[in-house]
Structure 1
Amino acid sequence: MSSMGGMSMGSMSMGNGVPSMFALQQIYWIVVGSAIGIATFVNGLNRLLTRYRLQDPSSTPAQPKSLFFRVYATLTAISREISYATLPPISLGPLVIHFAPLGSMLIILANLVTVLVLCFYGLDTSDVWQWENVGYRTGFIAICQLPLIFLLAGRQNIIGYLVDMSYVRLNWFHRWIARTLWLTATIHMGFWFHDWGRYDYIAYQLTHDPLTKRGFAAWCILTFIVISSSAPVRKLSYEVFVLQHLVSFVGLIVAIWMHAPDEVKIWVWIPIGVLVFDRVVRYAWGAYVNIGIFHCSVSRCSLFAHHATVTPFPGNVTRVIIQNPEIHWKPGQHILLTCHRIAPFQSHPFTISSLPEDGRMEFFIRTQGGGTRGFAAFAEKRKSLEGDVRCGPMFIEGPYGTHRPLRQFDSVVLFGGGMGATFVIPLLRDIVSAWKSEQGDQYISRKNSLSVTRHIRFIWALKSRAEINMFESQIHTVLADINECRRLSPEFEKEIEISIYITCDKNAHLVSVPQNCSSHDNRQSNNSMFDSATNFWKNLVSTTSPDRELEKNYQDKYRKNSTPMREQLCSNPGNLDFPLPALSRERTGSDSDHSAEESTQLLPSNTNTSPTILSGRPSPHAIIRKSLERAQGESAVVVCGPRGLADDVRRSVVSLSDERAVHKGTGAQGIYLHVESFGV
């Protein structure tokens, strides 16, 4: 906002032992680098712990065996209780404000404190003769934050690789570091304006001084970026947000370049280098993956590597399948999907709901707007055609997303809310697949285990019974793998519990399904989807909820601290494209907020695996507590779904961790929590 040229201000000290401005910039990056280094060390230790557990031949590999790992487990439990904690949401009429976890907020607060200390250390802001010094100092501290913002923004993220964190999570830090930069730039501008205001000189500077005009332009662009990046504005139109965001940051870089003196332009070059690296890697990898000539075989060679089939599903959901993709992925990862025929020049993240061994990528896309509406319209327009509709070419970017491998934990609890099942069902299938592989002869002689998990608890809360048909085949695959494990090994002791909560369909009372129910309706005898749905439900028999007593004991106690998920999960159950057979009676009215008294079994009674259908909403605290009481080592809780469900699960994990008093030497093991969320 004022001239920073001429003599080198960065190397000058302001007296009284205060470091130079170049030194203060270095101190900022020493602090940032130290934080990244600590997180990288912890990530490496966690990877070592995973390998150690899978190679542990004892009956309790998820328990720490040495003093070092016992101390590490205690420190981890303490840090988790602090970092997982979150404040209850605040309702302002129709607007609900959710807060980030305390751990993330503390990191942003630490960065803010560091920046403010470096801005004002050794300076007296009450002394009018030091206002120029404050202006210079804050300008230097502001520009040195620029590389961090770009490092946190890229999808090919160096920080993400070091600390094992997805770019989706790092993007939250990217936005808040940018807001800290805006605050620093505002202070920088404010002190110059304050100094000039004594002589009524502000208007003259903005009119006649080129450096001031460029600096003010940079501040205006940065202010626009901060405002347009807020969640309410982003959600208006994500495609428009992405386009204007790209244009805005280019303008910001140009304005900062023109405003900054040569001695600090290195802080502009670094972001440009980071941006170029991210784009080159993304485009090079994308070209290799999507251009068919790189994957030609004797039987197949085409220009584009991927085509897809799309199928409409009830509840405004579209299924997309890409056969034989040219990439490998891990359960729970997502890719960015582009189909110019359906949504030109748009790229959207979708979770891969299948496993690599399936030989296909499968996505279930809820229609919300923009590109997702395009997929739904394309599928609906051609749904009268026989079979699935072919669409292509399809371009994929990724895979992205990361979390600690769940196979290292003794007990795993998975919560899926609505379409969140696309994330948790692959995780469920992955562990069960490892169990099945371990029963084969080829793994008997292996020294290390594929999975140490002993117990899995799977919870899926959804609006209507029609949505279950999206994952019919996956659920049957899980149950078939469990039965195969028991066939191969009669001593098989792994446990799995599956519960599906129906939060809507209040007026559709459930009654028992006769075992001889027809496999199709005469009115829709040619509807293969209806046939599949009916076959899926016709073997249902009555059973009892495994969580009934625990939920009744804990629901009232923790309801006052929970978010009413019914309002979030139950809005419109959607139009059912086919009739579903009725099930056993469910509770209605206010009772639906409690756990169901009745449930239904998804398998014939000749198996010990008893998935259940429940009406109402789950009680995360009771469900997690039940699994923890059976755990013989560290447990994992994973949730993907509405924000209210995630907040309830998060608070339940913190409460139960404190109740178990892991950090007080009780011998109880810790709880790892992973919250997966997508949002613009």
Structure 2
Amino acid sequence: MESLTTPNSILRRQHIQNFSEASQLEPHWGYAYRVVPCTNDPGSCAYLDVVYDAHDAGMLYTGIFWATVLGILLIWGIGRRVFPAREPVDDLLAQLSTNESTPQRPKPSFLSRSFGAVASSLRHHLLPTAPLRTIFGHTTRLQLVILAVLTSYLSIWSFVGIVYGKWVTPIKGQPADVVNTRTSLGPWADRVGVLAYALTPLSVLFAARESILSAVTGVPYTSFMFLHKWTGYIILVQSLLHTLGWVLIEGWLYKPQPDVWNKWVVQEYAIWGFVALGLLVLLWICSFQWVVKNITGYEFFRKAHYVMAMVYIGALIGHWEELQCFLVPGIVLWVVDRLARLVRMGMLHCGYQRKEGRWGFSSAEAEAKFWKDERFGDVVRLDFEHHQKAWSIGQHFFLCFTEGSLWQSHPFTPLSLPQINNVGDVKHSYIFRAKGGETRKIARVIEEKLKEQKEGRTTTNVVLQGPYGENIVEGLTQDVNVLCVAGGTGITYVLPVLLRLVREKVNPDRKIELVWAVKRKQDLEWVEPELEELRRLGAAHGLQIRIFVTAEDVAPGVRTTTGDEKKVSEDVDTKSVSVGSDESQNQRPDVNVAVNEFVANVAQGSTRVFGSGPPSMITELREAVAQRNSGSKVWKGEGRFDVRLVCDDRLEW
């Protein structure tokens, strides 16, 4: 109990409780103090019992909610450390039983077949793109299932532990027919408001680039963006319901009107509540793709999103500071994320600069190559070496171009194999298509510099931040068959995988294939050195390269390069269309056929598909991979139907 001299005494419910007649104030975590004993009429006292009991239960339920989240993360994190990705038990046994470089695989064990069958069945049902694509975008069924579980869990906590009823109470100094109608709408509106507060730090966690969730689970931060977006929508709905509930109570159920409403709406906490809701609605409107594309632009949206989100959290503290236990962690997590990004950048660029012979900060100087393409967008390739640790295959960096805007950075996946040379440098190579915004600006700068310089080469400086993402070849043993499917500049995602494979020991039973769709045959020049290495080293591995030219009138042909053991075939499959045809964007390889044929020709072992390209291609790839997964066949020992997909949205299956 607290005495009346408590400096934190809260009078926001003084229209219900009579503080002047109170002997003590009873504290309730996250809510207004309660007058003890209750000196109101019996109906009001009964209503206050329901209000405070429901709030106390709600605070307990938010604790259970966060205990559930942290418990899942704890179990997940421990599981990753105890059972890290490694070669299957069957492979280890095979290696112990033979001295051959490519051991004969034994019959899969019961445990191996069980885990494989369950995983394959889950991929078959949950990997395809979710329905209602106009609402949920190009996300998977798994993401939608996770969202449904989260929404259902929150819905349960929104309604349990509340006594539902109605209390009609008299008003002092008013005629007998002027009464207050008190219902459980108030406790319920408070409950959804508390849950909205409790979800705020989770939303921040989902949005962090320096993600604690990724560090614990191993899931890349990009896979949490869908949940960040929809957690924000849930918070918006909860806030609207909370506000609507109290607007109905204060503007209709309580009497006399409009006196009660006028007195309530000018209170500071109510004003801050409306400000917070307004900011939340503005955040929602600005997140629409149409608004970002046609009005704000992505960079303005991103910066405005940060500012509005922090002001929104500040407004929430002004609305109900007793619940800042949920809000302060959100601010701290955001600040830590921003500082960690700066630290990463500083670690990459601060130190002894060999070229300048000094200590300090220095950007990386990249050699730039340029391909003019007025129809589909110019293409730029950057190559440079930088002193740093090697990243993992599949990770990406954020590049800031010093000749553009220092306030903008864009994510790019290196196409080069991360290997440290004898002086501690690692080669970076990037390709991007300049369609608009910052990339278009940099492409124009490079084009102009090339026109001015007679030697036909130029440079541009970049600042790196990263690496981010996960190792996509973790657990990729020599018995795993690999199919790479790429569209356009998506080749950068799969090339390092192939370059690593062709440098490994040869497994004659392993199948490796690349399917790449490009607009023009000239586009092969982007990665000509890497393609030449694949042709040269891939012969021994039986690597098949199939390149589809989709928007150029060229005669189809086949080039064959022979190696010491096997040939490497490069099929240039042409879908010829006239320039300017509306069908040019749809002319590409049949992804479903490519996956089916690949799996059908696998001799032994499981299959991993790496994909990168436009959303439509990834959608088709998910469907194709899901259809080839079969838990029953994996259980019977047919490992080729254990097909995993690793695509450029960093969601691995």
Radius of gyration: which is bigger? 2
Do the aligned partners of 1:291 and 1:303 also contact (CA within 8 Å) in 2? yes
2:545 paired residue among 478, 492, 498:
498
Instruction: Give the equivalent residue in structure 1 for 2:597.
Output: 626
Query: Residues 293-372 of structure 1 correspond to what in structure 2 (within 5 A)?
Result: 293=352, 296=354, 303-315=361-373, 316-357=378-419, 359-372=426-439
Question: CA 1:170 to 1:88, structure 2 compared with 1: closer, same or farther past 3 Å?
Answer: closer
Task: Tell me what 1:104 maps to.
Answer: 143
The reply to whether residue 276 of structure 1 matches residue 338 of structure 2 is no
Task: Rate the CA distance shift 1:502–1:124 in 2: closer, same or farther, 3 A.
Answer: farther
Counterpart in the other structure of 2:496 = 426
Q: 1:410 maps to which residue?
A: 480
For 2:58, the equivalent position in structure 1 comes to 21
Pair 16,67 (structure 1): closer, same or farther in 2 beyond 3 Å: farther
1:337-380 deviation digits (Å, cap 9, x = unpaired): 11232233211111111112384211111112221012101111
Q: How far apart, in 2, do the equivalents of 1:666 and 1:674 lie?
A: 23
For residues 106-136 of structure 1, give each alpha carbon's deviation from its aligned partner in whole angstroms, at most 9, with x where no partner exists. Answer: 1011111111111111436675511111122
TM-score by length of 2: 0.78
3-state secondary structure, aligned to 1:225: helix
1:113 paired with 2:152, answer: yes
Give the letter for the 2:616 counterpart: G
Letter of the structure 1 residue corresponding to residue 142 of structure 2: G
Q: Is the 8 A contact 2:126 2:142 kept in 1?
A: yes
Contact 1:289 1:305 in 2 (8 A): no
Aligned-partner Cα distance in 1 for 2:493–2:301: 26
Q: How does 1:492-531 map to 2 (within 5 A)?
A: 494-505=541-552, 508-510=553-555
Which digits, 9 at most, give the CA deviation of each residue in 1:552-601, with x for residues without a partner?
A: xxxxxxxxxxxxxxxxxxxxxxxxxxxxxxxx4xxxxxxxxxxxxxx411
SS in 2 for 1:390: strand
Map of 1:476 onto structure 2: 532
Aligned to 1:162: 216
1:667 and 1:50, CA in 2 relative to 1: closer, same or farther beyond 3 A?
Answer: same
Deviates more, 1:149-158 or 1:303-312: 303-312
Q: Is the 8 A contact 1:314 1:466 kept in 2?
A: no
- Cα shift at 1:300: 7.3
CA gap of 1:256–1:240, structure 2 versus 1, over 3 A, is same
- Stretch deviating more after TM superposition (192-201 or 239-248): 192-201
For the Cα contact (< 8 Å) 1:334–1:398, is it kept in 2?
yes
> What amino acid maps onto 1:603 in structure 2?
T
1:174 match: secondary structure: helix
Match of 1:208 in 2: 266
CA contact (8 A) 1:84 1:103 kept: yes
* Secondary structure class of the residue paired with 2:407: coil
- Tell me which amino acid in the other structure corresponds to 2:398: L
Aligned-pair distance for 1:249? 1.0
Equivalent-residue separation in structure 1 for 2:146 and 2:85 (angstroms): 25
User: Shift of the alpha carbon at 1:87?
Assistant: 4.2
Q: Is contact 1:61–1:452 with CA below 8 Å preserved after alignment? A: no
- Report the equivalent of 1:251: 311
Shift of 1:167: 1.5
What's the offset of the Cα at 1:631? 4.4
Q: Which amino acid aligns with 1:70?
A: R
Where does residue 344 of structure 2 map in the other structure? Answer: 285
- Residue matched to 1:49: 86
**2: CA distance, partners of 1:13 / 1:676:** 51
RMSD of aligned residue pairs (Cα, Å)? 3.2
**Distance (whole Å) between structure 1 residues aligned to residue 263 and residue 509 of structure 2:** 67
Partner of 1:8: 28
Report SS of the residue matched to 2:561. coil
Question: In the alignment, is the contact (CA less than 8 A) between 2:250 and 2:261 conserved in 1?
Answer: no
SS at 1:402 equivalent? coil
Q: Is the 8 A contact 1:431 1:453 kept in 2?
A: no
Question: Is the contact made by 2:481 and 2:511 (CA closer than 8 Å) also made in structure 1?
Answer: yes
Please tell me the residue identity of whatever aligns with 1:312: F
Shift of 1:623: 1.8
Give the secondary structure class of the aligned counterpart of 2:185.
helix
Aligned-partner Cα distance in 1 for 2:107–2:616: 33
Cα distance in 2, alignment partners of residues 349 and 475 from structure 1: 23
Match in the other structure for 2:176: none
CA-CA distance at 1:421 after TM superposition: 0.8
Tell me the CA shift for residue 18 of structure 1. Answer: 9.7
What secondary structure, in the 3-state scheme, does the structure 2 residue paired with 1:611 have? strand
Instruction: Give me the whole-angstrom Cα distance separating, in 2, the residues matched to 1:675 and 1:105.
Output: 18
Task: Assess, with a 3 A threshold, how the Cα gap between structure 1 residues 333 and 16 changes in structure 2: closer, same or farther.
Answer: closer
Residue aligning to 2:300: 240
Among 130, 138, 142, the alignment partner of 2:184 is: 130
**Match for 1:608: what amino acid?**
K
Deviations 1:645-678 (A, max 9, x none): 11111111111114x7446646444111122149
Does residue 581 of structure 2 align to residue 609 of structure 1? no
Tell me if structure 2 keeps the 8 A contact 1:410–1:452: no
Cα–Cα, structure 1 residues 156 and 509, in superposed 2: closer, same or farther, change >3 Å? closer
User: Which structure ranks higher in relative contact order (CA pairs < 8 Å, sequence separation ≥ 6)?
Assistant: 1
- Any conservation in 1 of the 2:482–2:607 contact (CA below 8 Å)? yes
1:396-448 deviation digits (Å, cap 9, x = unpaired): 00011225426236111111011111111122112222x1xx47xxxxxxxxx
Contact between 2:57 and 2:161, CA under 8 Å: does it hold in 1? no
| AA matched with 1:309 | E
Instruction: Pick the structure with more strand per residue.
Output: 2
Distance in 2 of aligned mates of 1:63 and 1:178: 50
* Structure 1, 116-125 or 629-638: larger mean CA deviation: 116-125
> Residues 45 and 646 from structure 1, CA distance in 2 versus in 1: closer, same or farther, beyond 3 angstroms?
farther
User: Is the Cα contact below 8 Å between 1:4 and 1:261 reproduced in 2?
Assistant: no
Does the 8 Å CA contact 2:367/2:384 hold for their aligned counterparts? yes
Tell me how far 1:495 sits from its aligned partner. Answer: 2.9
Q: TM-score scaled to structure 1, two decimals?
A: 0.75
Displacement of 1:479 after TM fit?
1.8
Distance change in 2, residues 1:317/1:207 (3 Å): same
CA gap of 1:661–1:54, structure 2 versus 1, over 3 A, is closer
SS of the residue corresponding to residue 603 of structure 1 reads strand
SS of 1:72's equivalent in the other structure is helix
Counterpart-to-counterpart distance in 1, 2:515 and 2:473: 19
Match of 1:489? none
Moved more, 322-331 or 472-481: 322-331
Percent identity between matched residues is 20
* Cross-structure match for 2:558: 600
Q: Give the CA deviation at 1:390.
A: 2.1
Unaligned 5+ segments in structure 2 are 1-10, 15-24, 32-48, 96-101, 167-181, 576-587
Instruction: Please tell me whether residue 260 in structure 1 is matched to residue 320 in structure 2.
Output: yes
CA distance in structure 2 between the aligned counterparts of 1:232 and 1:60, rounded to whole angstroms:
55
User: For the structure 1 residues 300 and 399, does the alpha-carbon distance in structure 2 shift closer, same or farther, using more than 3 Å as the test?
Assistant: same
Distance 1:23 1:72 in 2: 37
Name whichever of 343-352 and 201-210 sits farther off: 201-210
Gaps of 5+ in 1: 440-450, 487-493, 511-583, 585-598
Preserved contact between residue 641 and residue 677 of structure 1 (Cα < 8 Å): no
The residue that corresponds to 2:239 in the other structure is 185
Question: CA–CA distance in 2 between the matches of 1:456 and 1:300?
Answer: 47
Deviation at 1:306, TM superposition (A): 1.8
SS in 2 for 1:265: helix
Matching residue's letter, 2:410: H
Q: Whole-Å Cα distance in 1 between the matches of residues 219 and 107 of structure 2? A: 24
